[in-house]
Amino acid sequence: MRVPDFTLANMGGVAKLFSLLLLLAVAQAATTNIKNHWNGGFEAETCVPVTQELNGWTIRMIFDQDVWWVEAWVGSPTKISNREYTISSGSHQNAGDQICFNFLGHGQGDIQPIATVTIDGQSGGGNPSSGGSQAGSNPENTGGGGTGGKKNYGEALGKSILFYNAQRSGKLPPNNPIPWRGDSNVGDCVPGGWHDAGDHVKFGLPLSSAATLLSWSIVQFKDGYEKAGQLDQMYDMMKWVYDYFLLAWKSGQQKLYVQVGDGDADHKYWGRPEDMHMSRPCKFVGGNTPGADIAGGTAAAMAAGSIAYRQKDAAYADKLLEGAKSLYNFAKGHRGVFTGGAPFYASSGDADEMCEGAMWLYKATKEQSYLIDAKGYVDLGVAWSLGWDDKKVACQGLLYEITKEDQYKRAVEGYFKNWFPGGDVTYTPCGLAWRIKWGVNRFTANSAFMALLAAEMGIEPTKNRKWAVEQINYFLGDNNHDGGCFSFEIGYGSKFPKNPHHRAASCPDPPAPCTYNQLNAPGFSPHILQGALVGGPDKDDSYTDVRSDYIHNEVALDYNAGFQGALAGIVHLQAVGKMPATNNKCPC
């Protein structure tokens, strides 16, 4: 570089210019700061200065040692080689901002690699952060960070799919997208399926409930998945659970396996699912054992799945539909609730699942007998919520969609009258509809999904869409926790839970041991449970990210189902130009 001549009077300016050039040189050759390391991995942090306005960015990290994969709490990491990674985001950044984040790296041995960090397309790079947290850094991002309330619902949708993939049981496929998960419980009487929550039992009632809502989201908002670039990933994700249902239903034996594993024994184990060696007993419905709640709910999931798969794979859709038909007939002969899994997921009745099963079979076949059955099962009372134990409002909505009869419409309207402000649901200061302390986000997310479905049916579309999007916005950052812009979906944005109540995510890489000590171990969980929606805040918006707090920090299949469906619905609204104007109380 040629430096122009200066007079002695300008020497102060020369010194300043030299200092500026020196700072830029340092920035271009910055290193990360290793905060923690162990056999097989490390935790590091960096802050990258933004020197020009950016509408989306890509950070490039080049390591001096091999790193097998990277997990970052901002953006989407892409592996170029074992020594080069990029992390991209669609968020907007102003000149003078910093993009600060922690990340995990995984490799062989107790490695402490140094990485140079730059932002593609701008001069200047990153310098190591001097502290141990992200406090003071508030870059705008599409996951609820920054000004303007921008949200990337498609990104949130893709991350939710990753959560379900992290819950997989059985022998994992070659395209497994969760590198810290491996084969587990391959000797189960019914292999495959999804682990229920932070534990490893496969419970039929929440499993079928989640699968039904997720299937409904494909049927109703397929274009949302397409727009987000997630349709193939969604089909792949759902086939894992559909295959499990097909194995669990033994039509020739007239048995439906509804639980794999012992809840009490499982909850006494804290470790990797890959390392489980305990007995995993099977429980089934059949013979003299009733269980139409799970059988009817599973028939609903399979029938809805047959519709979702009809255009993609007609032969597979036929297999699901035949299974749903025979299972529904079986359920009619085994009325009553399954009690063999008590006290876990004890159902209050089976009529709602039977109604759901009948309606999805009607939608799949157009056979009037199913519609007649559904009208006999439906309860026109106002539902408390939508969840694994109560599908009342879902059945009411499905019946209204088909019949357009006012009695079903009034029931759905009554549900949202209770849920909207002025009803009997409490609201937090920042506007979250707060139904109950334990896993509050799950009930609100399910109701948001139901509101978007009701809008598609012509039930108060403007009001329902606005409310639903505002609730999802709360989850993705429109709240005041941790200074605001906090996402209750793990891995989304720059601030989110780091310590979910989840065994696998809390375990360090093998061969390091994982025991109950991990439940209260200091520091962040070694793995990011991408896409999981945690239980949620208290009614004053307060929330503590503590691994042992299963009330607020549990994750589960049924927590994410309606949330993911709502995300697909919102992307659909964006695609068709019907996105409502929102007015969140604590905008990010």
Domains of the chain: residue spans and CATH = 30-128 (2.60.40.290), 153-576 (1.50.10.10)
Return the pLDDT at 39.
65
Of the CA atoms within 13 Å of residue 78, those in its CB half-sphere come to: 8
Return the pLDDT at 105.
83
Return the pLDDT at 90.
67
Percent of the chain with pLDDT over 90: 74
Q: Is the peptide bond before 580 cis (omega within 30 degrees of 0)?
A: no
416-434 tens-digit pLDDT: 999 999 999 999 999 999 9
* Weakest mean pLDDT among 31-40, 73-82, 321-330: 73-82
Compare 114 and 290 and report the one with higher pLDDT.
Answer: 290
- For this structure, is 226 an active site residue? no
Q: Write b or e for each residue in 102-121: b if 16 or more Cβ atoms lie within 10 A of its Cβ, otherwise e.
A: bbbbbbeeebebebbbbbee
Compare 567 and 48 and report the one with higher pLDDT.
Answer: 567
Segment (H or E) for 33 = strand 33-38
Compare 136 and 484 and report the one with higher pLDDT.
Answer: 484
Residue 554 has pLDDT above 70, yes or no: yes
Selected catalytic residue, list 196, 389, 545, 558 = 545
Return the pLDDT at 74.
67
Compare 46 and 457 and report the one with higher pLDDT.
Answer: 457
Neighbouring CB atoms inside 10 A of 368's CB total 9
- How is residue 540 annotated by DSSP? T
Return the pLDDT at 75.
67
Question: Which residues are CB-neighbours of 514 under 8 A, at least 6 positions away?
Answer: 270, 271, 272, 275, 503, 506, 507, 508
Return the pLDDT at 44.
86
Residues facing 119 on adjacent strands: 59
Mean pLDDT to the nearest integer, 540-566: 97
- For this structure, is 45 an active site residue? no
State the average pLDDT for the chain: 89
535-551 tens-digit pLDDT: 999 999 999 999 999 99
Selected catalytic residue, list 71, 350, 554, 558 = 554
Q: Residue for token digits 């004890």?
A: 346
pTM above 0.75, yes or no: yes
Return the pLDDT at 141.
30
Return the pLDDT at 516.
96
325-380 tens-digit pLDDT: 999 999 999 999 999 988 899 999 999 999 999 999 999 999 999 999 999 999 99
- 4 falls in which pLDDT band (50, 70, 90)? very low
Mean pLDDT to the nearest integer, 279-283: 96
Compare 251 and 69 and report the one with higher pLDDT.
Answer: 251
Residue 278 has pLDDT above 60, yes or no: yes
Return the pLDDT at 104.
81
Return the pLDDT at 121.
73
Q: Report d(CA 314, CA 312) in Å as an integer.
A: 6
501-516 tens-digit pLDDT: 999 999 999 999 999 9
Return the pLDDT at 80.
78
| Highest mean pLDDT: which range of 15-29, 71-85, 356-370 | 356-370
Percent of the chain with pLDDT over 70: 89
Q: Report d(CA 187, CA 78) in Å as an integer.
A: 34
Return the pLDDT at 82.
79
Q: φ, ψ for residue 259 (rounded to 5)? A: -155, 135
* Weakest mean pLDDT among 45-54, 279-288, 401-410, 501-510: 45-54
Residue 156 has pLDDT above 80, yes or no: yes
